[in-house]
Amino acid sequence: LGLWRWQRAALAASEEDEDEKEEEELRQRFMAPPVSGLRELRRRRRELRSRMELLIMETQGEVCRALAALDPGAAFAVDTWERKEGGGGISCVLQDGEVFEKAGVNVSVVFGLLSEEAARQMRSRGKSLKAKDGKLPFCAMGVSSVIHPKNPHVPTMHFNYRYFEIEEADGTKQWWFGGGTDLTPTYLNEEDAVHFHKTLKEACDKHDLKLYPKYKKWCDDYFYIKHRGERRGIGGIFFDDVDSPSKEEVFQFVKSCAKAVVPCYIPIVKRHCHDSFTPEEKLWQQLRRGRYVEFNLVYDRGTKFGLLTPGSRVESILMSLPLTARWEYMHTPPETSKEAEILEVLRNPKDWVH
């Protein structure tokens, strides 16, 4: 009996050591402690909500480390925040570096009751939501990033991967995933465009060969500035409200897409961050950033949802806006210029991988 007790105690101590080791490894990969707490996430590690929160925390850490390695003179400000209605987030922002003018990578995990405006927005795109006494409990989590480099030959890049869950009046839970990764260059570089799209296609093809062409078109259609008649950039992939074939399969697809962020973008930054540029090229970058602002404030669904959610953190939502931008009255580039070349692609999207 004494030996058995000793063996049980030794096993418990060994498991505790392993737990502490695993927790320390996770801490090293994160930028800050997770919103739900590390021990709570590990306790519920088999639940998809916990796995998704771990994935977005790891993605934030991977991207921040990759960007910091390219801009060693700058540092990310790590800002944790709480939402009194439930949940919180971690905002990591680098400003005025040598390579990046502004780079933000945010994680948010929020829950509570869906606002009337947010519910109306969801119903407008086909969601049938049955509220109880006008209330809809929800949980939303995701990682979102926008990176604005200083050099006009390095493109801006955006990615976002998120999970949403709503509990209806009868206890039924609706869930869906959304996200995407897209590139917004100031000047067209076909080699960069092909690399970016091929990397995303490889991530999609691991799951279904139909996904890349479907989500590439969705991206071109979504990031469309209607009042300008042009896309925000050269696209990538975008999807929303995805709830099939199964929760596990969609999660694994989202995981592959998140893991593709660093390899699709960082080589492009390395290739061009020390390119020379003229004042005229810098001016064109500022004008294109104005278009970026227009899309985000007028059309972007994520920005709208954030601003309509009670207790949301406006600074984190508007992190996507560049540090500097410019609007000139009736600016039109010469027809045969490099500036006109990128406009042609923004007006007529190309197939970059075939």
User: Which residues lie closer than 8 Å to 351 by C-beta, 6 or more apart?
Assistant: none
CA dihedral (46, 49, 53, 59) positive or negative = positive
3-state secondary structure of 92: strand
Q: Tokens 């917004």 belong to which residue?
A: 184
Q: Tokens 């402690």 belong to which residue?
A: 33
Both ends of the chain: CA-CA distance in Å?
70
Q: Which residue from 317, 310, 303 is spatially nearest to 86, judged by alpha carbons? A: 310
The alpha carbon torsion through 319, 320, 322, 325 (nearest 10 deg) reads -120
**What's the CA gap between 45 and 15, in Å, rounded?**
16
**Range 309-318, long-range pairs (CB < 8 A, 24+ positions):** 309/110, 309/115, 309/118, 310/85, 310/112, 310/115, 311/83, 311/84, 311/85, 311/110, 311/112, 312/83, 312/110, 313/81, 313/83, 313/89, 313/91, 313/108, 315/91, 316/81, 316/89, 316/91, 316/106, 316/108
* DSSP-assigned letter for residue 135: B
DSSP readout, 166-178? EE-TTS-EEEEEE
Q: Which residues are catalytic?
A: 158
* DSSP-assigned letter for residue 98: S
